[in-house]
Structure 1
Amino acid sequence: MAPPDGAAQEGSTWVPNLRLRRRATRIYRTTMAEAKNEFTRISSLRAESVGEPGKRTFRVVVNSESSSASVWLEKEQLFQLALAIQQIVANLPDDRDTEGSFPTDREADPLTNLDFKATKLVLGHDGERSLFILDAHDPEDEDVAVIRVWASEQQVQEFSEEAMRVCAAGRPHCPLCGRPMDPSGHRCARTNGTADLTQLEPLDQ
């Protein structure tokens, strides 16, 4: 499938892309797929969590012109997305242009409001435009992105830092047994003699 006109392409622009699935993460070079909606004039790109510690859900919130999108994803996806942004920025040339040339003629129709759970994310960098591209796909069509977000280096760096803070803000972990502590109280397995230190729970949401 050919990429949309002006999209980053392997061979002409350095495009390290990140595909994020629930169980696997791979980084590779590829062309960007088509997108149903493009946000090219974004005013904010935020990482948020909803709910109480231990029961949180996570999303990327984008506002552009008169449109908005809430893209729900797994905590691990959000964390890996933040890491991937940092990795790409670290490998960009020192003499790069950081202002960016936005394809504003592709902006989504006014009052476009999206709310969906992403099954795949693709992250890329368009060297010619000096912009980052984030595609989010839903399970109905993995070949065409529901939304494509064009963002500057500053916007994605601020997003990455916020995403890291959001991921780290879950329930505090007990310094003795390493398990998350509920606000209502904590039964420390290590102090009551029932801990199996080889089977500690994974990091909590």
Structure 2
Amino acid sequence: MPTRIHEFSWPDRVVVGVTGLPGSRTFYLQVRAGKQLVSIVLEKQQSAQLAENIDDILDQLLSVDGNPFSIPTGTPPELVDNDPIEEDQEQFRAGAMSLGWDPSTSQIVIEAHPLAAEDPDAQLGEESLHPDEAEETEMLRVRMPVGTARAFAKRTREIVDAGRPMCLLCGYPVDADGHTCTVPES
């Protein structure tokens, strides 16, 4: 099964953005280099975890004696990107994701694979009717410098946190059209 890899080694832009209103937002990881633009759908929790893990990796690298990678402690102001995402069709919905560090280029590396589609024939215990028709899979690989990674994590946290407020009593999100709170009994 051939895999189509969308690879970005030094992207012009890499951001998490959303469409829709709080409560029904769709999160996108969008990457652009020149005219090449790829958008994949993420879950809110994937976005939040990605930002947290990027900051964790960068913070661990800060503790390396002499900080040979010039890791910034905060977000460089010139790298802040608050623009909305660009209109584009999604390539795929992210399933498995991995995050790493490439010391040879001093870059954070994100890899995202599509959410596995269920084969209805496989559920019935039958083999595919067309075994020679291998479906092409996709993968996104993004390499970003440390400053860009800090800015990416900061923006992502802000977008995740901009959702619906949490009810102080029950801890569930409060919808714009109201909230029925069921306080747990003590």
RMSD, matched Cα = 2.5
Question: Deviations along 1:129-154, whole A, 9 cap, x unmatched?
Answer: 1111111111379xx76121111001
Question: How far 1:98 sits from its partner (Å)?
Answer: 4.1
Question: How far 1:41 sits from its partner (Å)?
Answer: 3.0
Question: Deviations along 1:6-35, whole A, 9 cap, x unmatched?
Answer: xxxxxxxxxxxxxxxxxxxxxxxxxxxx87
Q: Aligned residue for 1:91?
A: 60
CA–CA distance in structure 2, aligned partners of residues 45 and 147 of structure 1: 12
Q: Aligned residue for 2:140?
A: 147
The equivalent position to 1:166 in structure 2, one of 159, 171, 178, is: 159
Asked whether 1:184 is paired with 2:180, we answer no
Question: How far 1:115 sits from its partner (Å)?
Answer: 1.8
Hey, which of these two has a bigger chunk of helix by percent?
Answer: 2
CA–CA distance in structure 2, aligned partners of residues 115 and 88 of structure 1: 27
Question: How far 1:95 sits from its partner (Å)?
Answer: 2.4
TM-score scaled by structure 1?
0.63
Identity of aligned residues (%): 30
SS at match of 1:119: strand
Aligned residues: 145
Question: Deviations along 1:25-68, whole A, 9 cap, x unmatched?
Answer: xxxxxxxxx87221123111111122111112211111112101
The equivalent position to 2:98 in structure 1, one of 122, 130, 147, is: 122
* Structure 1 runs of 4+ with >4 Å offset: none
Cα 1:145–1:90, aligned 2, differ >3 Å: closer, same or farther? farther
**Structure with bigger RCO (C-alpha 8 Å, 6+ apart):** 2
Cα 1:179–1:62, aligned 2, differ >3 Å: closer, same or farther? same
Gaps of 5+ in 1: 1-33, 100-112, 190-194, 199-205
Q: Aligned residue for 2:40?
A: 71
